[in-house]
Structure 1
């Protein structure tokens, strides 16, 4: 489903016009630039909503019909759930479980983190995937050139860094396996197995 179709869902549910919602839905799918298949949906999680989308777009905004709409609700109800057949919202751990570990992860990711450790607001965001999942390999989501130069400037109004980076988004997606649940919700991820059992009984 593309951003325009998601925006149509928002209009039907919340009023206003396509243009009220298109930028938000387009941003949710901007990770398609990093990975052309459904592994790209790392922002389609509560971590993505809370740590990235809401800090950029705000908690709410007023649509062209004069109605205040909630950004979290739009992300959940108009974008993520429709992408997964209204069955579940995956967790960040569901994505990071699909990443193959590497023996050099701790060393490489620690070296990347050290450049930002003294900047409290950036370092807290960079380390949040580890706090969320417990997986060192989850830091590949934030410790890369895309996150530093695309996401950090949007959230904290920082300048981009014109430099070579030791880690890129390809380091993440080249090691992320495609799981069946990523295929538009035709299977359930580990976090939603209990939900699957409830609905199948």
Structure 2
């Protein structure tokens, strides 16, 4: 699946309604393409937490134009499965990140906030 529209067509095949009934949810999952336009964008929302986040944003259910009510989670799970073949956890994504030195380079917060411990701050 390359575009939210195609995911929405798949949703119509699964549960009825129209493409417009689903497009906002599928577009939300793929909005991270604004940050990186390759498959890595999926690390932000294509996981179990992303599915639950969609439910928080769009509500626990959506009402289709036909009047049918379906769980938002079904739509999110469908999207992730179509792109990845399964629903990973966020930890599955994090395990694949190669740590870099800059990622752990932080000053203790008390040194940043204490003008005596960190002159010139």
Normalised to the residue count of structure 1, the TM-score between the two structures is 0.49
Residues 1:109 and 1:38: Cα distance change in structure 2 (over 3 Å): farther
1:22 aligned to 2:20?
no
Shift of 1:88: 1.6
- Return the offset for 1:35: 0.9
Over 6 Å off, 4+ runs:
none
CA-to-aligned-CA distance 1:105-136 (integer Å, 9 cap, x gap): 3454986xxxxxxxxxxxxxxxxxxxxxxxxx
CA RMSD of aligned residues (A): 2.0
Task: Quote how far apart the aligned CAs of 1:104 are.
Answer: 4.5
Pair 1:57 & 2:64 matched: no
Deviation at 1:69, TM superposition (A): 1.1
Relative to structure 1, is the Cα distance of residues 98 and 20 closer, same or farther in structure 2, using a 3 angstrom cutoff?
A: same
What residue number does 1:66 align with?
67
Count residues in correspondence.
107
Q: Note closer, same or farther for the CA distance 1:4–1:98 as it changes in structure 2 (3 Å cut).
A: same
Residues in 2 aligned to 1:48 and 1:6: alpha-carbon distance in whole angstroms: 16
Task: Kindly name which structure, 1 or 2, has the bigger radius of gyration based on alpha carbons.
Answer: 2
Match of 2:92 in 1: 94
Counterparts of 1:23-172 in structure 2, within 5 Å, are 23-42=24-43, 43-50=45-52, 52-77=53-78, 79-84=79-84, 87-106=85-104, 108=106
- What is the CA distance between 1:103 and its match in structure 2? 3.8
